[in-house]
Chains A and B, each alone.
Chain A
Amino acid sequence: MPFLRRLLIVEWSGLAVAIVLGSVLLAVLTPNFMTEYNIYVMLRSFCVGLLVGFAQMVTLGVGQMNISVGAIGGLVAISFGGMMEALGVPLVLAVPLAIAIGALCGLINGVLTARTGINGFIITLATASAFTGINLGITEAIPFYNMPAALVAFGDERFFAFPYLLIAPIIVTALLMLFFARTVPGRQLLAVGGNPHAADLSGISRERTIVLAHVLSGGLAAIAAVLAVAQLGSAQPSIGADWLLLSFAAPIIGGAALTGGYVSVVGTTLAVILIALIENGMVLANVDPYWVQFLLGALILAAVWLNRWRAVKTGTD
């Protein structure tokens, strides 16, 4: 079974197996799982989560972390909605502006961490508070309601089971894979994360690379925010408020090292799919609400254990 063996050596294969097992189980248990509409619902629900995971993944890659992903998301969401509703900026202009705002937030994070050498955890925790403060100060917690029809349609409509919203994450995923596998800055980013001193010696600018990672992170969080606005149909100030844990969970379950230098775009994607599957499955299977939390933990643990077991068996630990 050389093929199976080769497959098992791939580090995310445990996650893939868990997803397949879970899907089969749900398809047998609940007739509605495999309906076109439910597949659409699941695909649509994982778009934002995936970009949130990526936003953290790029900072983890360089050996940093970004506590402010959610805060950037919230600030971008309301700036995006606000500039369209209050200032009348057209959609085609608002999207790039929104991403630019996210990247600018990332730039602030990056410059502050790289220049001062202060732990990125503290810097981004402080900026997270500042970004959220601007968000609440502008909105006083009241959302912007009137989003352009085209944006709302983009968030809702589908081609059979394929939500249009999914187009953005697919493009981003492809670009990120290309970035890490084929481009110089992508490899430098991981090199700095893996061994900063060696990277220094080989002439890579550590400061520039860290800034780059934070700018990317901010930009990705901004795309996630734009998608969230499209999905919800209004620019809610609370967007991003619960992104923090997911943003770390997805890349790390997907195999990224907390210490930097290693990330997996495919692994992160599979982790987000797994989490979306578990959450969808629990509603479909009509799980008692008091059991939802418990099962969520148990299933994540089971999936991780499966992956671990695979690693031990194949000796790729």
Chain B
Amino acid sequence: MTSVNRSGFPAAIGVFAIAATALATGALASDNKIALIPGGPHPYFAPWEQAAADAQKDFDIAAVDFKVPAEWKLNLQTELLESLAAQGYSAFGIFPGDSVGINSTVTELQSAGLPSAALAGCAQDPTDMAFCLGTDVYNSAYIGTKELIKAMGGKGNIVHLAGLLVDPNTTLRVKAVETAVEETNGEVTLLQTVADTDAQEAADQKISALLAAQKDEIGGMIATGYIPSVVASKLLRTLGDKRIKFIGIDDDQIVLKAIEDGFVAGTMAQNPYGQGYIGAYALDLLASGDCTMKEDAPWIETPQTARFIDSGTMVINLDNIASYKDDLKAITADIQGKFKDTYMTCS
């Protein structure tokens, strides 16, 4: 993983020169300690480790650490945050373990003078997160469904493989898929929504049963969670079925391989590396106290928050599977280069 990121980087070096000059003129070597904290152990966040190391070096920050809660539980995440605050960390990039439940902790950190930002996924407004840099879950599910409908030629029956029902994000995704289907005025029908597919084995069981029940009626499937994407890609390959169109999410190897071999139409890419890298950069500026977020920046308003920045949502399919990583790097460099001027007021 390390070597992949490093070897790809020279391509973007030119843009980072901008950052370097900004460093030369602006605040030098900050003594901030920044932590990047996912919701729990999960392969999606693996690039954050490299992003943290790169950000620490590129922006000359005292420390940028990737800290993982022991399990995927909100209370373990908040305990970790509180503990890091007690140890003198000065800013936090957080993937909210729960988009509502995280807010009270963020408020407490804020009142202790420690800024936080939501990375990868947003917290629900009202929130004290400085901004949300990530994927708009609603929009991503909506675009994914649109893409699926396009791949199906504009009509047919689809099913939605959704994540944990108790996660507020799942509710948003269900609505997004329903909206995209409604907009076809009856050309496309949503046959079924299968939820709680966030564990490998449960997903395997449920998606297999779904295919057994209606594989002949199904024209397309959309998964809005990491695990159902992986499992459905694998099952479609086993079934050898290239008729059913499938749009997944994230770039797990299994999904990418299935795209290359034609079993999966595409997947919604996110930009985990960029989220971690830019997040650390912005948090460093905030923690130094020199910068504050602009009220009138070109924020995107989403169903979750009024301070959203898109970290790059794109569809990976056969056309761009070889180049999407470079595309994401270019997006990362672009957002990072403009971030300070666009979203911040600095003294």
Does any Cβ of A come within 8 Å of B201's Cβ? Answer: yes
| Residue in B45, B200, B215 whose beta carbon sits within 8 Å of that of A239 in the complex | B200
| Residue in A37, A232, A283 whose beta carbon sits within 8 Å of that of B206 in the complex | A283
- B345 / chain A contacts, CB cutoff of 8 Å: none
The secondary-structure label for the interface of chain A is helix
Does any Cβ of A come within 8 Å of B5's Cβ? Answer: no
Determine how close the nearest CB of chain A comes to the CB of B248; give it in whole angstroms.
15
Does any Cβ of B come within 8 Å of A280's Cβ? Answer: yes
- B192 / chain A contacts, CB cutoff of 8 Å: 283, 286
Complex Cα–Cα for A143 and B43 (A): 8
Which A223-250 residues have C-beta < 8 A from chain B? 228, 231-234, 236-239, 241-242
Chain A residue with Cβ nearest B238: A156
Known: A140-B46, A143-B43, A286-B192. A41 touches B212 (CB 8 A): yes
Does any Cβ of A come within 8 Å of B320's Cβ? Answer: no
Contact status A283-B210, CB under 8 Å: yes
Complex Cα–Cα for A241 and B71 (A): 10
Contact status A242-B201, CB under 8 Å: yes
Which B157-216 residues have C-beta < 8 A from chain A? 162, 165, 191-196, 199-202, 204-206, 208-215
Complex Cα–Cα for A219 and B92 (A): 43
* B-contact bits for A188-231, CB 8 A (1 contact / 0 none): 00000000000000000000000000000000000000001001
Most buried by B among A133, A141, A236, A284: A141
Which B52-102 residues have C-beta < 8 A from chain A? 68, 70
Contact status B212-A279, CB under 8 Å: no
Contact status B234-A233, CB under 8 Å: yes
Number of A positions contacting B (CB below 8 A): 40
- A35 / chain B contacts, CB cutoff of 8 Å: 212
Does any Cβ of B come within 8 Å of A32's Cβ? Answer: yes
Complex Cα–Cα for A286 and B195 (A): 11
Complex Cα–Cα for A30 and B70 (A): 43
Does any Cβ of A come within 8 Å of B25's Cβ? Answer: no
Which A21-57 residues have C-beta < 8 A from chain B? 30, 32, 35, 37-38, 40-42, 44-45, 48
Does any Cβ of B come within 8 Å of A292's Cβ? Answer: yes
Contact status A290-B165, CB under 8 Å: yes
* A-contact bits for B223-249, CB 8 A (1 contact / 0 none): 000010011001000100000000000
Does any Cβ of B come within 8 Å of A297's Cβ? Answer: no
The secondary-structure label for the interface of chain B is helix
Does any Cβ of B come within 8 Å of A179's Cβ? Answer: no
Contact status A289-B209, CB under 8 Å: no
Known: A136-B41, A143-B43, A233-B234. A284 touches B200 (CB 8 A): no
Most buried by A among B68, B200, B201, B211: B201
Chain A residue with Cβ nearest B49: A140
Determine how close the nearest CB of chain B comes to the CB of A32; give it in whole angstroms.
5
Complex Cα–Cα for A290 and B165 (A): 8
Complex Cα–Cα for A35 and B214 (A): 11
Residues of B at the A interface (CB closer than 8 Å) are 41-43, 45-46, 68, 70, 162, 165, 191-196, 199-202, 204-206, 208-215, 227, 230-231, 234, 238, 253-254
Q: Knowing that A133-B70, A232-B231 are A-B contacts, what are 4 other residue pairs whose CB atoms are under 8 Å apart, sorted by A's residue number?
A: A141-B42, A231-B201, A283-B209, A290-B165
What are 16 A-B pairs at a CB distance below 8 A? A37-B212, A38-B213, A45-B205, A45-B208, A45-B209, A136-B41, A140-B41, A141-B45, A231-B201, A234-B234, A242-B199, A242-B202, A280-B205, A283-B213, A289-B193, A293-B165
Residues of A at the B interface (CB closer than 8 Å) are 30, 32, 35, 37-38, 40-42, 44-45, 48, 133, 136, 140-143, 145, 156, 228, 231-234, 236-239, 241-242, 276, 279-280, 283-284, 286, 289-290, 292-293
By Cβ-Cβ distance, the 8 closest A-B pairs, closest first, are: A141-B41, A289-B195, A38-B212, A283-B209, A45-B205, A41-B208, A284-B213, A41-B212
